[in-house]
A and B are shown apart, each in its own frame.
Chain A
Amino acid sequence: MRDNEMTTPEIRIAEAGTTGIRPLLEIRDLAITFKTSGGEVQAVRDAHLTIMPGETVAIVGESGSGKSTTALAAIGLLPSNGRVSGGQILLDGEDIAHAPEKRMIELRGNTIGMVPQDPMSNLNPVWKIGYQVRETLRANGQPNGPDDVAKVLSQAGLPDAHRRAGQYPHEFSGGMRQRALIAIGLSCQPRLLIADEPTSALDVTVQRQILDHLDTMTTELGTSVLLITHDLGLAAERADKVVVMYQGRVVEAGPSLELLRNPRHPYTKRLVESAPSLASRRIQAAKEQGVETADLLAPAAEPAAADNVLQIQDLRKVYKLRQGLGKSSDFAAVDGVSFDVKRGTTTAIVGESGSGKSTVAKMVLQLEKPTDGRILFDGVDTSVLKPADLFKFRRRVQPIFQDPYGSLDPMYNIYRTIEEPLRVHKIGDKASREKKVRELLDQVALPQSAMQRYPNELSGGQRQRVAIARALALDPEVIICDEAVSALDVLVQAQVLNLLADLQANLGLTYLFITHDLAVVRQIADHVCVMEKGRLVETGSTDDVFESPRQDYTKALLNAIPGAKLMLPPEVA
Chain B
Amino acid sequence: MVRFILRRLLQVIPVFLGTTLLVYYMVFALPGDPIAALFGDRQPPQAVIDTLRSQYHLDEPFWVQYGIFLKNLFTFNLGNDFTGQPIAAALARVFPVTAMLAIEALAIQAIFGVAFGVFAGLRRGGWFDSTVLVASLVVIAVPTFVLGFVFQLVFGVQLGWAKPTVGANADWGSLLLPAVVLGLVSFAYVLRLTRTSVSENMNADYVRTATAKGLSRPRVVLAHILRNSLIPVVTYLGANLGGLMGGAIVTEGIFNVPGVGNKLYQAVLRSEGPTIVSIVSVLVLVFVVANLLVDLLYAWLDPRIRYDQ
Contact = CB atoms under 8 A, between A and B. Distances in A.
A323 B309 contact: yes
B169 interface: no
A315 interface: no
Interface in B165-219: 203-217, 219
A484 interface: no
A153 interface: no
Contact of A184 (B207, B211, B213, B227): B213
A126 B214 contact: no
B42 interface: no
A126 B227 contact: yes
B25 to A, nearest CB: 34
Interface string A96-120: 0000010001111110011011100
A107 B302 CA distance: 31
B143 interface: no
A79 B203 contact: yes
A123 B304 CA distance: 13
A324 interface: yes
Given A124-B210, A125-B302, A168-B303, A135 B215 contact: yes
Query: Which of B203, B223, B303 is most buried by chain A, counting CB atoms within 10 A of its CB?
Result: B303
A109 B210 CA distance: 10
Interface residues of B, number: 26
A296 interface: no
Contacts of B115: none
A170 interface: yes
A124 B202 CA distance: 12
A203 B216 CA distance: 34
B256 interface: no
B224 A109 contact: no
A121 B214 contact: no
A108 B216 contact: no
A101 B302 CA distance: 30
B212 A77 contact: yes
A123 B206 contact: yes
B223 A136 contact: no
B62 to A, nearest CB: 37
Interface string A117-150: 1100111111110000001100110000000000
Given A77-B208, A79-B203, A114-B209, A105 B309 contact: no
Contacts of B228: 124-126
B44 to A, nearest CB: 59
A361 interface: no
B93 to A, nearest CB: 43
Central interface residue in B210, B223, B304, by most chain A CB within 10 Å: B210
A79 B202 CA distance: 10
Contacts of A110: 214
B206 to A, nearest CB: 4
A108 B211 contact: yes
Contact of A118 (B205, B210, B219): B205
Given A139-B219, A324-B309, A122 B211 contact: no
Contacts of A188: 214
A467 interface: no
A342 to B, nearest CB: 44
Contacts of B211: 77, 108
B214 to A, nearest CB: 3
B212 A114 contact: yes
Contact of B209 (A128, A181, A322): A181
A75 interface: yes
Nearest to B206: A124
A139 B214 contact: yes
B301 interface: yes
Given A126-B228, A181-B209, A108 B301 contact: no
A75 B215 CA distance: 13
Given A77-B211, A135-B219, A136-B213, A121 B205 contact: yes
A122 B212 CA distance: 11
B200 to A, nearest CB: 13
B214 A122 contact: no
Nearest to B308: A324
A308 B217 CA distance: 63
Contacts of B209: 114, 116, 122-123, 181, 184
A193 B208 CA distance: 15
Given A77-B208, A125-B303, A109 B309 contact: no
Interface in A145-202: 168, 170, 181, 184-185, 188
A321 to B, nearest CB: 10
Nearest to A125: B304
Contacts of A109: 212-215
Contacts of A116: 205, 208-209, 212
Contacts of B205: 116-118, 121-122
Nearest to B215: A139
B45 to A, nearest CB: 62
Contacts of B215: 105, 109, 135-136, 139
Nearest to B230: A126
A324 B206 CA distance: 31
Contacts of A170: 303-304
A43 to B, nearest CB: 17
Most buried by A among B204, B207, B208: B208
A122 B213 contact: no
Contacts of B308: 324
B206 A122 contact: yes
B303 A135 contact: no
A188 B212 CA distance: 12
A121 B206 contact: yes
A35 to B, nearest CB: 12
B122 to A, nearest CB: 11
A320 to B, nearest CB: 14
A475 B241 CA distance: 58
Nearest to B231: A126
Contact of B214 (A108, A125, A322, A324): A108
Most chain B CB inside 10 Å of its own CB: which residue of A110, A113, A124: A124
Interface of A: 75, 77, 79, 101, 105-110, 113-114, 116-118, 121-128, 135-136, 139-140, 168, 170, 181, 184-185, 188, 322-324
Given A110-B214, A116-B209, A136-B214, 4 more contacts: A124-B210, A125-B206, A126-B302, A126-B303
Q: Which 5 A-B pairs have the closest CB atoms?
A: A109-B214, A324-B309, A108-B214, A114-B212, A121-B205
13 contacts: A77-B208, A77-B212, A109-B215, A114-B209, A116-B208, A116-B212, A122-B208, A124-B206, A124-B210, A124-B223, A128-B303, A135-B219, A185-B212
